[in-house]
Copies of this chain bind each other. A is one copy, B any other.
Amino acid sequence: VQKIQPLDRLPVHEALARLQAALVRAGWAPGTESVPTYEALGRVTAEPVRARIAVPHYRAAAVDGVAVRSALVERATPDQPVRLTLPDQAQWVDTGEPIPAEADAVIMKEELTWVEGGRAVQVARPIHPGRHVRAVGEDWQAGREVLQAGVRIRPVDIAALLATGIAQVQVYHRPIVGFLPTGSELVEADARSVTSLRPGQILESNSHMILAEVARWGGQPLRHPIVPDDPARLRAAIADLIERCDLLLISAGSSQGSRDFTVHLLRELGEVLVHGVAMRPGKPVILAMVKGKPVIGLPGYPGAAWLAAYLFVRPLLYQAQGQEAPPAQRVTARLGAPIRSPAGLAHYVRIRLRQALVEPGQVQSGAPGWIAAPFPPGSGLIATLVGANGLLCIPPGVTELPAGALVEVERLI
């Protein structure tokens, strides 16, 4: 029988800081790799990227016309036009085509008078050297930086990279996130098992939810099949997965129940940094290091698992890609119903945000605001998962928010 220790009550930011300090000590860095530019959408540049060729990489016609040596027409006037034979003294060029080496200007087709059945042109005006010629590198010099390090590559960036001859680009590796679902009550959520569920069996859904978020945060999902509550099998699965991933998530077994082996195994295999964070839901989260890699024990309740991943996995994945996580999009909203909150815990409440309606006859000042509607008590898991589009954090020192209070709500997408 394992001795049950009280959970830590570390504030969220201190728990994250403790994990990040351990990552620095361990030199955790998933690294970089070279990928074809046309597959680099959403990847983050690991170093400054410089043009391999100039744009244009040859002297190019800026208009349709004839390429000439400007000296040949320097005395041309409307009264005494200069006659140029093709292709000896003037060469036809379309826009974008290369200029012959001996030419230094392009005369626009609108300025030409064709004579001798198209074998020659007459020119009535001189032309400046360089006129209508795009010089090599006029748009971009070879060697000039196209993208800085740390830039997430957009479609237009792909075009700029390819146009400057960058066919491969060095980007941060997408961290591989292992997910180990544990629990003898769990069954794989496929079409067959739905029809044969027995009482007590639960369809495993947390792994698919969290790994879908992981993909949105730039990571690569690596899901392990369900492991039952058996310490030997759990130990073997952790030992296997930790070699194949950059970050390991274990769900659940992070609590203190008789079958919650996770924290004991992690103490045996590595170092448990945090067991218990001053937050609701998600209090029993585990932050650990095993073989120089972060391991996060997630609670089993889906809302709590999601929150723990959002607070602890998301920043790590962006960090591994050389970036800060995108800032939260917050709106100020009026609380639609009072909320009680436990003292000493950061309380994260899933919220339904909606635009406030203006009553007929009511004077409207400014734009319509937002209403933040908490879910009524007993709403249950499914309602709060699919219905929430906002997240409200009530700090540890606040135990009650009255209806009508103005709150900052983070929008969930």
Distance in Å from the Cβ of A313 to the closest Cβ of chain B?
12
Q: Which residues of B contact A38 (CB under 8 A)?
A: 189, 208, 212
Q: Which residues of B contact A212 (CB under 8 A)?
A: 38, 41, 154-155, 158
A64, A165, A193, A412 — most chain B CB neighbours (10 Å):
A165
Distance in Å from the Cβ of A385 to the closest Cβ of chain B?
4
- State how many residues of chain A have any CB contact under 8 Å with chain B: 70
Partner of A96, one of B97, B164, B202, B206: B202
- With A and B bound together, what is the CA distance between A61 and B208 in angstroms? 25
**A210 located at the interface, meaning its Cβ lies under 8 Å from any Cβ of chain B in the complex:** yes
Pair A159/B209 contact, Cβ less than 8 Å: yes
- With A and B bound together, what is the CA distance between A199 and B38 in angstroms? 23
Stretch at the interface among A21-29, A276-284, A375-383: A375-383
Pair B413/A380 contact, Cβ less than 8 Å: no
Pair B194/A139 contact, Cβ less than 8 Å: no
Q: Which residues of B contact A191 (CB under 8 A)?
A: 167-168
- With A and B bound together, what is the CA distance between A262 and B167 in angstroms? 28
Partner of A197, one of B51, B57, B382, B385: B57
Is the contact region of chain A dominated by helix, strand, or loop, or is it mixed? mixed
Pair A382/B208 contact, Cβ less than 8 Å: no
In chain A, residues 202-240, which have Cβ atoms closer than 8 Å to a Cβ of chain B? 202-206, 208-210, 212-213, 215-216
Q: Which residues of B contact A154 (CB under 8 A)?
A: 212, 412-413
**A147 located at the interface, meaning its Cβ lies under 8 Å from any Cβ of chain B in the complex:** yes
Q: Which residues of B contact A79 (CB under 8 A)?
A: none
- With A and B bound together, what is the CA distance between A239 and B80 in angstroms? 54
Pair A381/B158 contact, Cβ less than 8 Å: no
Pair A382/B139 contact, Cβ less than 8 Å: yes
Which partner residue on chain B sits nearest A151 by CB separation?
A: B386
Given contacts A155-B213, A257-B94, are A386 and B160 in contact (CB under 8 A)?
Answer: yes
Which partner residue on chain B sits nearest A147 by CB separation?
A: B386
Pair A140/B200 contact, Cβ less than 8 Å: no
Distance in Å from the Cβ of A222 to the closest Cβ of chain B?
14
Q: Which residues of B contact A155 (CB under 8 A)?
A: 208-210, 212-213, 216, 306
Pair A97/B200 contact, Cβ less than 8 Å: yes
Pair A96/B216 contact, Cβ less than 8 Å: no
**A98 located at the interface, meaning its Cβ lies under 8 Å from any Cβ of chain B in the complex:** yes
Partner of A139, one of B164, B197, B204, B381: B381
Pair A190/B213 contact, Cβ less than 8 Å: no
Which partner residue on chain B sits nearest A389 by CB separation?
A: B154
Q: Which residues of B contact A388 (CB under 8 A)?
A: 156
- With A and B bound together, what is the CA distance between A90 and B60 in angstroms? 90
**A393 located at the interface, meaning its Cβ lies under 8 Å from any Cβ of chain B in the complex:** no
Pair A206/B159 contact, Cβ less than 8 Å: yes
- With A and B bound together, what is the CA distance between A386 and B52 in angstroms? 16
- With A and B bound together, what is the CA distance between A302 and B157 in angstroms? 11
**A138 located at the interface, meaning its Cβ lies under 8 Å from any Cβ of chain B in the complex:** yes
Q: Which residues of B contact A197 (CB under 8 A)?
A: 53, 57, 165
- With A and B bound together, what is the CA distance between A179 and B259 in angstroms? 55
- With A and B bound together, what is the CA distance between A118 and B199 in angstroms? 26
8 closest residue pairs by CB, A with B: A58-B199, A139-B380, A162-B205, A98-B199, A159-B209, A155-B212, A38-B208, A162-B189
A-side interface residues toward B, CB under 8 Å? 36-38, 41, 51-53, 55, 57-60, 64, 94, 96-98, 138-140, 146-147, 154-160, 162-165, 167-168, 185, 189-191, 193-194, 197, 199-200, 202-206, 208-210, 212-213, 215-216, 257-259, 302, 306, 380-383, 385-386, 388, 412-413
Q: Identify 14 new A-B residue pairs, CB closer than 8 A, beyond the known A51-B382, A164-B382.
A: A37-B189, A55-B382, A64-B257, A94-B259, A140-B380, A140-B381, A154-B212, A154-B412, A155-B209, A155-B210, A155-B216, A156-B386, A158-B209, A159-B306
